[in-house]
Structure 1
Amino acid sequence: MDPVNILLVDDQPAKLLSYEVILQELGENLIKAKSGREALEHLLRTEIAVILVDVCMPDQDGFELVAMIREHPRYQKTAIIFVSAVMMAEPDRLRGYEAGAVDYVSVPVVPELLRAKVKIFAELYRKTRQLERFNAQLEQRVADRTAELQASSSQLAALNEQLEYRIEERTREREEALAQLFEAQKLDTIGQLTGGVAHDFNNLLMAALSSLELLSKRLSDGDDRSRRLLNNAIQAAERGAALTQRLLAFARRQELKPQAVDIIRVVTGMEDLLRRAMGPGIRLRSELPDDLPWVLVDTNQLELALLNLVINSRDAMTEGGTVTIFAVPETVRQEGAKLKLEPGNYIRIRVADTGCGMDEDTLARATEPFFTTKGTGKGTGLGLSMVQGLAAQSGGTLVLSSKPSGGTAVDLWLPVAGQIPYQSPVAEDEAPVEEGDQVSRTILVVDDDALVSMGTAAMLEDLGHRVTEVSSGRDALAALARNQNFDLVITDHAMPGMTGSELAAQIKISYPGMPVILASGYVELPGGIELPDILRLSKPFSQDQLIAALSRSFASEASPESSVKQSYK
């Protein structure tokens, strides 16, 4: 006889093990589930003969689970035995039988009694299945003979037509699956290429910008034409740096880094970019209030989301129109559950257009990955799904409203930040320190790219500091061992042999008071040693940003760590 499946449901592993030991003599297949949800998953995948259910479970008690099982047509007659150390009064038993149980076993379990009951119901299941198979075989034979007698040319034609339809449907499904796979592989390849190339591109921009900035300081005030040409080169390099940052933001594989963000400042700072993305014939209107609470979100991903929404609006207005961006504070109370949001304070950012709109079918599928109404090569179908994912990961939601010829409105709900805005170690707009506050220091610059190293050293020397350059982490440790009078180390991250993160970690161990600034061409460090307290500079950086980083580093000399540093100077 083939063994049947017996499902054991209990949230306590020890009890499951004891049931398994008791019932293994029956020679049946024993399947264990630690929760109601896991039990339902087994029931959907496997044919079960007998179910042993614990009454008291934390997430879902046995009565509720049995009631759900009985709702499934396949398990309306399956033998279910309750196991309970409590709730054994007659009303409880009556409730269990009403839920669908066929028997009770009290705890502590008597092994012989449990085996006997399970064996009876397993045998009953086996005999029932045999009878059903016999009946099914008999019915099938009758049906086969009847079908043979009633076969006709029209039936054969119908079968052929159905077969052709199935082949066509399967072929279409296969082509769609291959197309989605191709799009996913293409995007992954683009992300990998972008992340790898952008680091080197940022290094080149670093070398160019540092040299241009120093050259600008040495240019005479009377040479206006040269000054304009130089400023033009600096602006072009800065635009290249901004482009690289946006490409890297798309290519990131890291988890979101939410922080307090000023929506008004983000939208205002992006207006020029958004207008260029929309092109001529489309007007951008920004209807933001004078003041709004800050939201908790990843800034880079928010900017990318707004850009995606504006581009979608542009593509829906082939003959021109208006895109309106506004934001208002909202409070979600208990009755706001239809938005699938936790009660609290939110900012609702709306991007609305006067475009062609969407019908109900298109609107229902608008956020599906790879779904797009644009022509081949004009869209990946990931824009709205990326925005929806950002909203969900940030604790918010995305709401779409549209109708044909009536335009589309996208509402992005984001939670209000409940703390003081986070400030990165070196802020982009941080003002440089005054000249009088600068003190000549001895600084070790570590970078395997000679152009970047030269540019960084030149900016430091222009500030009056003494600089030693090395091209690897090993050379840096050797330089520190020879000369312990360095005041600070500035190191690149991506270097062969030893990364900047590994070098910084080694310096923290060997020279605990030594300040370290980690400079990288990546938006986020691609793995490695975690150094949450270390100061970081994103390449390309300006001399003002370098001054700000130095100021923060040397400010720590007033802390107790400075006494440690003095011990090796």
Structure 2
Amino acid sequence: MERDEALASQRHSFMVMNIARALDGTIAKSEYILARYVISTDKNVGRLYQSEWRKAGQQLELLARQTRDSPRQTALVAQLHDAYMERGRELDDIALRTSYDQKMGALARFHQAGKAESLSRITSLLSQVIKVEEVVLEKRSAAVSASETRSENLSSTYRIFGLIILVGALGMGWAANAAISDRRNARRLAEAESLRAADLEDAVTERTHELEIANESLRREAAERAQAEESLRQMQKMEAVGQLTGGIAHDFNNMLAVVVGGLELARRKMHQDPAHAERHIANAMEGANRASALTRRLLAFARSEPLLPDTLDPDVLINGMTDLIDRTIGDQIRVETIQESNGWKIWVDRHQLENAMLNLAVNARDAMDGKGTLTITTRQVQLAAQEIGECVAGDYVVIGVRDTGCGMPPDVLTRAFEPFFTTKPVGKGTGLGLSQIFGFVGQCRGEIHIESEVGKGTEVSLYLPRYQVDSEQSVLPATSKATDETLPHAVGIEILVVEDDPRVLSATFDALVELGHHPVACDHPSKAAQILAHHDKIGLIISDVLMPDMTGPEMIAMLRHSHPHIPVLFVTGFAGDVEDAAMFAGYEVLRKPYTILTLSTAIANAMGHGQAAPASESHHGQTAAVTS
């Protein structure tokens, strides 16, 4: 009985190892078939993948039944089941994207899945199951050998007893003979099991060879797929560059025509009709402001415009924008608000968020052809990891804009975030609205989601991370913006101007003189320390952000050791290399292009706040602009 139990345990270990190796092969085969399906998009190949993946699940259930008497193996199989389910979700997402003709997305997901943790976990857990069973098998094989040894010793004892008892009892001799026969039967059984083990080892070797061939084929197909992906990426880059170049050239040429024409007419009318010349100058300023707005949209889409975030209550912000939205979209559209954020705050750039809401309202107005209902909602939501796009797990405030317009068909919906893509007539839109919002939400570590149905309307939802505000902190309401009248306007300040562009340096110098200050020019950040050493009355540093050899924040960090109390005003038009808002923490920031009025306001803020206040958004003035 002991020998039979040992042999049965040995067979059970071989069976567990065989099931584990077969499961590994089935998973590899199903992923190989999925790769073929992603490349070929053949539905029959997709169904074959589903069949193989279900087969792997059945093998996993069989493995669980065979190992339920081992606590250690049961724990490993439970982890293996979790990894299998996680891997199944990843592969099903790839198959689903392929079924909906999202081949590029499916290829990208498959490439990511090849490096996913779930795949390495499955391989690791299967190896652990096999290793554990090999250890058990070694012990059980030793138990078989020990049982045979004990059986042989017992047979020898029987023979000795038989010889002793043979003299007096023939019956004892018969018993000894029976014992010998039992031993021979046991040996034959052991030899038969040994042959079965050898056959099993051959089968495992053959299966391993098949898996190696399948893996090699999968590697070749992966290399071909990578090459195809690279070719597609290059084609998409060229297409995007062509589309972007054409859109920028069209819009900027229109705006430059307004600026150049307005200035030319103003020069002709300057002495004959000053009032008429003033109107042309105002038109030129409007064209320059439109060019500045286009630049901001491009930077937002590229995630290169620096954010100046603050703690905001979304309900307060939307209440403050209701009148502006009403005036923008017209009287025939009814605006409804549903506010359920219940005090949750967000950490965003107020100007960017207001611009995004206004863009969404204008898009909704155009979709409804000027008549319908616009609903703006706020609500709280808790998301799991990647439940919406690439969002991490946590609390989010959702700002939704829903219209009752015409909706978008699937082909338009898939291209909604492309720059310069628009379904509006020529001259009615640049196609940068949603792409700008996409860039802004990405900078805020959030996500944008669109739901649309033709004939029923569209809802755009902005998922913005919740900002946890300490009990000691206070948040200013949306209507508490400082005005020019409340800001201190100091004059007669000796100001160091650090700017590498001579034209901008000259324009800034003249603007400061116009405001009654005493500017000191510095055309390279490396000269700032020497100039400060010879001008001990400098009360403010105005510095560009991106300059040769050294950025503005780097220069200020170096000067802080020797001049810790001089206020700083940063001026920026593009901050692609220093887009982290922490680089500007504690300093006023002025965006290019700016007017003399906004320059005066920014100087007053910098002198009043010193290093105590974060950078604030500049206001648009109506005087001459200083541009980069």
Output the TM-score relative to the length of structure 1.
0.53
Aligned partners of 2:500 and 2:210: how far apart in 1? 80
The Cα of 1:490 is off from its aligned counterpart by: 0.9
For 1:186 and 1:130, the matched residues in 2 are separated by 51
Question: Aligned pair 1:489/2:541, yes or no?
Answer: yes
In structure 1, C-alpha distance between the alignment counterparts of 2:406 and 2:277, rounded to whole Å: 46
CA distance, structure 1, for counterparts of residue 550 and residue 242 of structure 2: 27
Q: Secondary structure in 2 aligned to 1:286?
A: strand
Match of residue 279 from structure 2: 228
Q: Residues 458, 405 of structure 1: CA spacing in aligned structure 2 closer, same or farther, 3 A cutoff?
A: same
1:407 maps to amino acid: G
What do the CA deviations read for 1:165-200 (whole angstroms, capped 9, x no partner)?
xxxxxx9x99998566433455479889999x9xxx
Distance of 1:558 and 1:380 partners within structure 2 = 39
Give 2:379's aligned amino acid: E
User: What's the CA shift string for 1:331-383, capped at 9, x where partnerless?
Assistant: 55899x9989978684542232421654xxx39985898799979x9999995
**Which residue identity lines up with residue 346 of structure 2 in the other structure?**
L
User: In structure 2, how many angstroms separate the alpha carbons of the residues matched to 1:188 and 1:517?
Assistant: 35
5+ long unaligned stretches in structure 2: 1-26, 33-55, 57-62, 89-121, 144-193, 212-223, 613-628
Establish whether residue 327 from structure 1 lines up as the match of residue 380 from structure 2. Answer: no
Structure 2 residue matching 1:448: 3-state secondary structure: coil
Question: What's the counterpart of residue 563 of structure 2?
Answer: 511
Matched, 1:480 2:532: yes
Asked if the contact 1:310–1:351 (Cα under 8 Å) also holds between the matched residues in 2, the reply is no
- How far apart are the structure 2 equivalents of 1:448 and 1:194? 30
2:455 to 394, 405, 408: 405
Partner of 1:62: helix, strand, or coil?
helix
Distance (Å, rounded) in 2 between the aligned partners of 1:379 and 1:553: 36
Aligned equivalent of 1:552: 605
Instruction: Check 1:390–1:56 CA distance in 2 against 1; reply closer, same or farther (3 A cut).
Output: farther
Residue 335 of structure 2 corresponds to residue 286 of structure 1 = yes
Distance 2:333 2:561 in 1: 54
Judge which range, 479-488 or 258-267, deviates more. Answer: 258-267
Q: Report 1:379-458 matches (<5 A).
A: 387=438, 390=441, 394=445, 398=449, 400-402=451-453, 404-412=454-462, 414=464, 419=469, 430-432=482-484, 438-458=490-510
Cα separation, partners in 2 of 1:187 and 1:531, compared to 1, 3 Å: same
In structure 1, what is the Cα distance between the partners aligned to 2:595 and 2:482?
Answer: 11
3-state DSSP of counterpart to 2:583: coil
Change (3 A) 1:386 1:447: closer
Is 1:533 the counterpart of 2:586? The answer is yes
Measure the CA separation in 1 of the matches of 2:200 and 2:422: 53
For the structure 1 residues 510 and 264, does the alpha-carbon distance in structure 2 shift closer, same or farther, using more than 3 Å as the test? same
- Equivalent of residue 470 in structure 1, options 511, 522, 526: 522
Task: Say whether residues 1:542 and 2:617 are aligned partners.
Answer: no
Q: Does 1:129 align with 2:179?
A: no
Distance 1:514 1:289 in 2: 47
Is the counterpart of residue 242 in structure 1 residue 293 in structure 2? Answer: yes
For residue 549 of structure 2, what is the amino acid of its counterpart? Answer: G
Answer yes or no: is the 8 Å Cα contact 1:323–1:354 preserved in 2: yes
Alignment CA distance shift 1:418-1:103 (3 Å): same
**CA offsets 1:23-49 (integer angstroms, 9 cap, x no match):** xxxxxxxxxxxxxxxxx999979x9xx
AA at the equivalent of 1:64: A
Deviation at 1:440, TM superposition (A): 1.9
Aligned to 1:352: 403
Q: What is the deviation of 1:479?
A: 1.6
Identity between Structure 1 and Structure 2 (%): 19
In structure 2, the residue corresponding to 1:530 is in which secondary structure? helix
Answer yes or no: is the 8 Å Cα contact 1:258–1:394 preserved in 2: no
Q: Which residue of 275, 279, 296 corresponds with 2:346?
A: 296
Contact 2:333 2:365 in 1 (8 A): no
Q: Judge which range, 299-308 or 345-354, deviates more.
A: 299-308
State the 1:537 CA deviation: 1.4
Q: Which moved more, 1:548-557 or 1:392-401?
A: 392-401
State the alpha-carbon separation in 2 of the partners of residues 389 and 493 from structure 1.
Answer: 21
Q: Is the 8 A contact 1:399 1:411 kept in 2?
A: yes
SS of residue in 1 equivalent to 2:377: strand
2:318 counterpart residue number: 263
Structure 1 residue 522: Cα displacement? 1.6
Counterpart residue type for residue 374 of structure 2: I
Contact 2:346 2:465 in 1 (8 A): yes
Residue 547 of structure 1 deviates from its aligned partner by 2.7
CA RMSD of aligned residues (A): 6.6
CA distance in 1, matches of 2:474, 2:596: 25
Q: State the distance in 1 between where 2:398 and 2:284 align.
A: 39
> SS in structure 1 opposite 2:406?
coil
Range with greater deviation from structure 2 (437-446 or 391-400): 391-400
In structure 2, the partner of 1:64 is: 78
Q: Which one of the candidate residues 433, 437, 459 is aligned to 2:511?
A: 459
Deviations 1:72-108 (A, max 9, x none): 9999x9786499xxxxxxxxxxxxxxxxx85777xxx
State the SS of the aligned residue for 2:529.
helix
For 2:405 and 2:297, the matched residues in 1 are separated by 28
| CA drift at 1:538 | 1.0
Partner amino acid, structure 1, of 2:515: L
| 1:287/1:325 contact within 8 Å kept | yes
* 8 A Cα contact 1:428 1:545, kept in partner: no
Q: How has the CA–CA distance of structure 1 residues 125 and 69 changed in structure 2, closer, same or farther, with 3 Å as cutoff?
A: farther
Q: Is the 8 A contact 1:520 1:539 kept in 2?
A: yes
Q: For the structure 1 residues 322 and 391, does the alpha-carbon distance in structure 2 shift closer, same or farther, using more than 3 Å as the test?
A: farther
Cα pair distance change 1:78/1:177, threshold 3 Å: closer
1:462 to partner: Cα distance: 2.5
Quick one: structure 1 residues 484 and 125, their matched pair in 2 at CA, closer, same or farther if it must change by over 3 Å? Answer: farther
Q: Which consecutive residues of structure 1, in runs of 5 or more, have no partner in the other structure?
A: 1-39, 84-100, 106-111, 137-170, 276-281, 560-569
Task: State the one-letter code of the partner of 2:585.
Answer: P
What is the CA distance between 1:326 and its match in structure 2? Answer: 2.2
Query: Are the counterparts in 1 of residues 418 and 435 from structure 2 also a CA contact under 8 Å?
Result: no
**CA–CA separation in structure 1 for the residues paired with 2:431 and 2:140:** 59
Distance in 2 (CA, whole Å) between partners of 1:536 and 1:476 is 19
Aligned partners of 1:550, 1:185: CA distance in 2, in Å? 44
Kindly provide the CA deviation profile for residues 538-559 of structure 1, in whole angstroms up to 9, marking residues without a partner as x: 1122333323332333336799
- TM alignment of 1:132-143, pairs within 5 A: none
| Residue 22 of structure 1: aligned partner | none
| Deviation of 1:248 (Å) | 1.6
Residue deviations 1:198-235, cap 9 Å, x none?
A: xxx9xx99xx9xxx9xx9xxx99x96444434333333
Q: Cα offset for 1:245?
A: 1.6
Asked if the contact 1:368–1:385 (Cα under 8 Å) also holds between the matched residues in 2, the reply is no
The alignment of Structure 1 onto Structure 2 pairs a total of residues equal to: 420
Moved more, 406-415 or 121-130: 121-130
Task: Tell me, in whole angstroms, the C-alpha distance in 2 between the residues paired with 1:186 and 1:128.
Answer: 53
| SS of structure 2 residue aligned to 1:232 | helix
Note the C-alpha offset of 1:519: 0.9
**Aligned partner of residue 509 in structure 1, secondary structure:** coil
